[in-house]
Amino acid sequence: MVVRPLRPAVLVPDEQAWTMAGVDVQAAGFEAAATPAAASVLAGPERIPEELASAVGEAWELICEPRRVEVLGDPFAAGMPLLEALKERHGEHAGMDHDEHAGMGHDHAGMDHGDMMEITGEPSRDGLVMEAADVALGPLSPALPTGLVAELSLDGDVVASCRVRATLEARRDALAPRAWAAATGDLIAGERIVAVELERALSHAAWLRRSAQLLGWPLLADRAGEAVAALVAEAPESIAFDAARCALEVSRRLVESRAFRSRTAGRAVVDAAGARALGLTGPIARASGVPEDARSQDAAYAGLGFEPVTREAGDAAARAEVRAEEAVAAVDLAQAALGADLPAARRSTVEGPRGPIRHGTTPGAAEAVALAGGLVIGLEWSAALAALASFDLSPWSVSAR
C-alpha cells in the first residue's frame, strides 16, 4: 500500500462540521496545521457564511507561498463564494487554484495568532509578576468550532474573564442536518430513528476525537477516529455497525479512565438545580442529573428499549461520559430500527446531538453558550480550553421560521 505524505492545511469550517457533512477529513490526506503560517493549503467549501469572510481572508494572508485553495464541497449551500471572498481581499491574482484532490482536507486549522508581549505589573495570585492579557479565540480556532468566539482576559495563565458567543446565523444548525430534517418532515419512525441516531453517534464520535486532540491524547483520538470512519457512509445499510460499536466502546472506557478524569473532573460544574433554572438541555443537562430527553416521549423509541443516559457530577468529565455512552447506545438504536416495523409519525420535537429541536428552534442552546464562559473563570489556560470544549457548543444562532 502506498501512503501519501500528508500536507499541512487550514480547514474551513472545521473537522467536526465537515464530518457532519459526510467528509472524514482525518483520512483525506492533509496534515493538521497548528497555525496558518504552517499551512500550504486552504481547504474549504464552495460557499462560506459571510460572517467568516474576514477571518478566512486573514488566514489566507498568513499561509506561505506557494499556497493553494481546494474546494471540498458545499455543505452550507448558501453564503459567499470562497474564491470570491479571497479575491475581494487580495485581488484577481491571489494564487488560488484547485487540484485533483478535491473532497479532501484536514482537521482543526489553527487560526489564532499574535505577537509575543512583555508582561509587567503587580504580582498575580501565583506570586509571579503578571498583567492581564486579552485573548480572542475564533471565529477560526483549533480550540473551538468555527464560528464560535471566546473573548478572554488572562491573569498570568489563569482565566480572569471569558465571554463566548455564536457568530453564525441560519434557519437550521448545519452541525445536525438529519435531526433538523426529521423535526420538520414526515418520516416513517424507523427511518427517522436510524437517521437521527447515526447522526448522534457520528457527532459524539467527532466531538470525542476533537477533544482528545485538544487534550493531546492520541489513543482516544485514534479510537474515536475509527468510529467516525465506520459511521461516515452514504446509506445506513452500508454503515460498519460492528466496527463503530467496537471503537465507541473502547472510547467510552478511555473516557471513564483515571487518565481522562484527571484532566476533566471537577471542571466547569453545573449542578441539576442550576441546569434546570437556566433551561439547559441535551447532554449538558443530562450530565448534571436532569433526565429530560425528547426520545423518552416517543413511543417508537420506547419500543426499542430506549433509556436516557445521565450522570450527576455536572462537570467536564460527566459531559464526556454522557456523550460516549450515548454514542454506543445510538449505534444500537439505529441498528435495531433498521427494517423495524414502527408506526409512521411526525415529531414536532426531535432530540438532536446537542439537545431538542422544537418548532424550528433549539431550546437551551443559547443558554449553554452564555453559561460556558463564566464557568471557565479561575481555570488555568489549558484546563479552560478543555472545559469550553466539554460543552460541545454550536456556533449557529438559529431563529424560528
The residue behind cell 431563529 is: 399
Q: How many Cβ atoms from other residues are within 10 Å of residue 307's Cβ? A: 12
Q: Are 381 and 159 in contact (CB under 8 A)?
A: yes
The pairing of strands 47-48 and 80-81 is antiparallel
pLDDT tens digits, residue range 101-136?
333 333 333 334 344 444 444 555 555 555 679 999
pTM (2 d.p.): 0.88
pLDDT tens digits, residue range 180-219?
999 887 677 888 999 999 999 999 999 999 999 999 999 9
The residue behind cell 478543555 is: 386
The pLDDT assigned to 16 comes to: 87
The pLDDT assigned to 107 comes to: 36
The pLDDT assigned to 77 comes to: 74
d(CA 46, CA 389) in angstroms, rounded, equals 27
d(CA 111, CA 59) in angstroms, rounded, equals 6
Instruction: Give Cα separations from 183 to 172, 360, 401 (angstroms).
Output: 11, 8, 13
Q: Are 18 and 41 in contact (CB under 8 A)?
A: no
Identify residue 285 by its one-letter amino acid code.
A
Closest CA to 75 of 29, 32, 16: 16
Instruction: Name the helix (H) or strand (E) containing 350.
Output: strand 349-352
Q: Rounded to the nearest 5 degrees, what angle is found at the Cα of 360, between the Cα atoms of 355 and 365?
A: 35
